Amino acid sequence: MLIRPVADDFRVIAFYLGRIFLVVAGAGLLPLTWAAIAREWHPVGSFLVMIGLFAILGVAGIRFAPSESTLNWSHGMVVVAFTWLIVPVIGAVPLLLSGHFGRPLDALFDAVSGLTTTGLSLLSDVDHLASSLNFWRHLLQFLGGQGIILAALSIFAGTGGITLYFGEARDERILPSVTSTARFIWAVSVVHLLFGVTALGLVGWLVLGFDIDRAVFHGLMTFFAGFDTGGFSPQSTSIGYYHSAIFEGVTSVLMVAGAMSFGLHYSLWRGPRRAVFANLETRTILSTFGFTMVLTLLGLAATGVFASVAGLTRHGFFQILSAHTGTGFSTVSSVELAQWGGLGFGGMALAMALGGMGSSTAGGVKSLRIGLTIKTVVNQIRQVLLPEHAVVGTAYRQSGRKHLTPNLTQSVMTISLLYVALYLLGAGIGLAYGIPLQEALFESVSASANVGLSVGVTDPSMPILLELVYMLQMWAGRLEFVAVFSLLGFLYAWALGK
Amino acid sequence: MMRTLNATVMATAFLLVPVSAFAAEEVSVLELVETAAELAGEEVAVKGELVGDYGFRDDGWMWTQLNGDAYVHEPIREGGLPGGGNTGIGVRMPIDLGEGLDPPGGYRRRGPVVLLSGTWKYHDPERQGESYLEVESLVVIEPGRTLPEKADWMAVTIGVLLIGAAAITWLFRPGE
């Protein structure tokens, strides 16, 4: 029998949502301070409204719905799903009031894209956007990449943390407690922040010849979008703006770091480093990266777009790395990307669909699932070829020796198939609007896998339904479906339960 | 008075345009982006706004971005309507050509509108495949200027009221 949620269920959800909103309100103080220091007075009001809305919702959740109840699995998933719906709505307020969006839905689209670390954008005239608003867009990617819930968990410990942690599409607990795991993830991020901003800032200042404040600004924005595999950029020409192989090199390091699981970061920091390369996930991502890069480079070489091997490898490598890590940076225009065609285009789309590692800031199906799927298929084939009573080994290495159980196989297959369905959904809607198959599929995969590379379909003149579908894809893709289905189930039970 | 001054500045600017600028085929930034391969190696003249940064590098070149979109003439801060992303290309020019230019466009700033002529380098093998315009001559058509900005007092008021309400709710729990 379907049990209808009672008042206590709503109270506990509101209570935890309230805590999270207060954390986001606190994060909103950063762009507000930035705007005040930069004397950008117009955005100041919009940041105040946003902070006020988060604060009042946060306080209301805690004050009006005090709850002694424990957060169960279902509550946690609903909290996560609601968080990722409501935060973009309120976070879009400064974007909307900036005047850089034609319709409110477009501002929401950018907030969803930012928070889910996708990087598709409907923002008009980014080259004249206030630096504080640029900071807010990029901070949204940082919050989304790290996980808003994770941010909250780092600040307040308590019961239910584990549910919230897993609800945000993280499937490994690195340290014994969730709070210490959350703090470790933040420590990794802060170290990369210091390294990334310093390195990029120095390149900007000493090599590119920017003023030092602008060099630091570009370094910070590129760090946020690179390490969190978001892909927003403070300039309209993305990383191509910098015309620098060194800048691209440092950015590539950040993208790789962002696409690595935090468990792998832990192993690299504290564990035996050799074990890292024994992991199924590491081997899988290295293989798929190599495969898609060869595909793309062969495709580009065949088209003759690049006259030199150096140009072909530099741009091919950067684009495919950006696609595979789910970042979405580019050094070529979307017009040119759309003209690539053939193997080059296919390699890029495949890399986007596969995605980075699990428990990282990247999107897509994820390498561990790809590795386990391949292992399952190989085992099936071996089982058929070997004598009837032969036992096929199911062990694999992933932070230790593990076994491929039927339950795990089912879970992996289900999520992988859901991703394929999500890719096809957006492509189908795009086709219905007359967008060519290749472009419709590319853009749909880009949205679902939270990549952000575009061939020009994402545009302020795009149909509203397609815009809504892309937003749904970004949301469901980021949360890896479980929290989304839990929310739908909760609402269904509320409507029809007894 | 201002209009007369602007007209004089523009007329003077055009009189000072080097012959090479007129010899090159004038194309828009959008045409350059959309037909980048076809125009590879061509001498072109392009008009637009310089935006972002001026990167003065040790090798004697200055890099920046040239935008040729609707916001050049109708900036959003002056009531222009948002109509999509920017259309821009990378440009590089000898440092002496770039020195003395008004600051590039950004928030509250419309950069100088210029007519650039030079060679369109499409995936230049000498720059490991970068695409950009190598500028040989530059004419300032309109100088850069500051764009107006006003505080949004309505938003400030609403924001302060909301934060105040949240603070009061936090301090005084209903029923206490």
* Model pLDDT for residues A30-58, shown as the tens digit of each residue: 999 999 999 999 999 999 999 999 999 99
A415 occurs within a structural domain: no
Give the model's pLDDT for residue A156: 62
Closest partner residue to B151 (CB to CB) among A45, A64, A311 is A45
Closest Cα in chain A, distance from residue B84 (Å): 5
The alpha carbon of residue B37 and the mean position of all alpha carbons in its chain are separated, in whole angstroms, by: 23
Cβ atoms within 10 Å, residue B176: 6
Cα→Cα distances A326→A167, A357, B176, Å:
20, 10, 50
Q: Which of A244-248, A268-272, A319-323 has the lowest mean pLDDT?
A: A268-272
For B165, counting Cβ atoms within 10 Å of its Cβ (0-12 exposed, 13-18 middle, 19+ buried), the class is middle
Residues A356-375, mean pLDDT to the nearest whole number: 91
Chain A 310-329, residues with CB within 8 Å of chain B CB atoms: 310-312, 314-315
Nearest CA-CA partner of A399 in A176, A185, A188, A174: A174
Contact flag B85-A40 (C-beta cutoff 8 Å): no
Give the model's pLDDT for residue B22: 52
pLDDT band at A168 (very low <50, low <70, confident <90, very high): low
Give the 3-state secondary structure of A464-482: HHHHHHHHHHHHHHHHCCH
Closest Cα in chain A, distance from residue B15 (Å): 31
pLDDT band at A153 (very low <50, low <70, confident <90, very high): low
A131 occurs within a structural domain: yes
A66 occurs within a structural domain: yes
pLDDT band at A274 (very low <50, low <70, confident <90, very high): confident
First to last CA, chain B: 67
pLDDT digits (tens, 9 = 90+) for A169-201: 566 667 777 778 888 888 899 999 999 999 999
Give the model's pLDDT for residue A235: 97
Strands (DSSP E) found in A417-486: none
Contact flag A44-B151 (C-beta cutoff 8 Å): yes
Residue B37 has pLDDT above 80, yes or no: yes
| DSSP per-residue string spanning A354-380 | H-S-TTSS--SS-HHHHHHHHHHHHHH
The CATH number of the domain holding residue B112 is 2.40.50.140
Q: Using CA of residue A298, residue A302, residue A304, residue A309, what is the dihedral sign?
A: positive
Q: What is the tally of structural domains in chain B? A: 1
First to last CA, chain A: 8
Structure tokens at B21: 């600028």
Closest partner residue to B88 (CB to CB) among A45, A127, A332 is A127
B173 occurs within a structural domain: no
Contact flag A306-B170 (C-beta cutoff 8 Å): no
Q: Which of A167-176, A243-252, A329-338, B111-120 has the lowest mean pLDDT?
A: A167-176
| DSSP per-residue string spanning A197-226 | HHHHHHIIIIIS---HHHHHHHHHHHHHHH
- A465 or A161, greater pLDDT: A465
Residue A488 has pLDDT above 80, yes or no: yes
Contact flag B58-A209 (C-beta cutoff 8 Å): yes
Percentage of chain A surpassing pLDDT 90?
Answer: 71
A240 occurs within a structural domain: no
Q: What is the tally of structural domains in chain A? A: 1
Q: What distance in Å separates the CA atoms of residue A83 and residue A20, rounded to the nearest whole number?
A: 8
Give, in degrees to the nearest 5, the angle at Cα B99 between B98 and B105. 65
Which residues does chain A have within 8 Å of residue B165's beta carbon, measured at their own beta carbons? 52, 56
B143 occurs within a structural domain: yes
Per DSSP, A117 falls in state: T
pLDDT band at B63 (very low <50, low <70, confident <90, very high): very high
Give the model's pLDDT for residue A275: 75
Residue A289's contacts (CB-CB under 8 Å, 6 or more residues apart) are A320, A321, A324, A351
B52 occurs within a structural domain: yes
Structure tokens at A41: 């007075």
B168 occurs within a structural domain: no
Residues A382-409, mean pLDDT to the nearest whole number: 87
Number of residue pairs across A and B with CB atoms under 8 Å?
208
Give the model's pLDDT for residue A341: 79
Cα→Cα distances A464→A59, A97, A147, Å:
34, 20, 28
Give the model's pLDDT for residue A263: 84
Contact flag B159-A47 (C-beta cutoff 8 Å): yes
The residue segments making up the domain with residue A98 are 1-168
Residues A198-219, mean pLDDT to the nearest whole number: 98
Give, in degrees to the nearest 5, the angle at Cα A216 between A213 and A219. 150
Cβ atoms within 10 Å, residue A367: 30
Contact flag A44-B156 (C-beta cutoff 8 Å): yes
pLDDT digits (tens, 9 = 90+) for B92-107: 999 999 989 999 999 9
Nearest CA-CA partner of A448 in A118, A196, A99: A118
pLDDT band at A359 (very low <50, low <70, confident <90, very high): confident
Chain A 72-131, residues with CB within 8 Å of chain B CB atoms: 97, 99-102, 121, 123-131
B110 occurs within a structural domain: yes
Q: What distance in Å separates the CA atoms of residue A356 and residue A292, rounded to the nearest whole number?
A: 13
Percentage of chain A surpassing pLDDT 70?
Answer: 94
B102 occurs within a structural domain: yes
Q: What is the dihedral of CA A373, A374, A377, A379, to 10 degrees?
A: -110
A61 occurs within a structural domain: yes
Cβ atoms within 10 Å, residue B19: 8
Interface test with A, best of B53, B93, B154 (most A CBs within 10 A): B53
Closest Cα in chain A, distance from residue B7 (Å): 26
A214 occurs within a structural domain: no
Q: Which of A179-183, A226-230, A489-493 has the lowest mean pLDDT?
A: A179-183
Closest Cα in chain B, distance from residue A360 (Å): 30
B88-94 and B109-110 as β-strands: parallel, antiparallel, unpaired? unpaired
A267 occurs within a structural domain: no
Residue B91 has pLDDT above 70, yes or no: yes
Mean pLDDT for all residues in chain A = 91
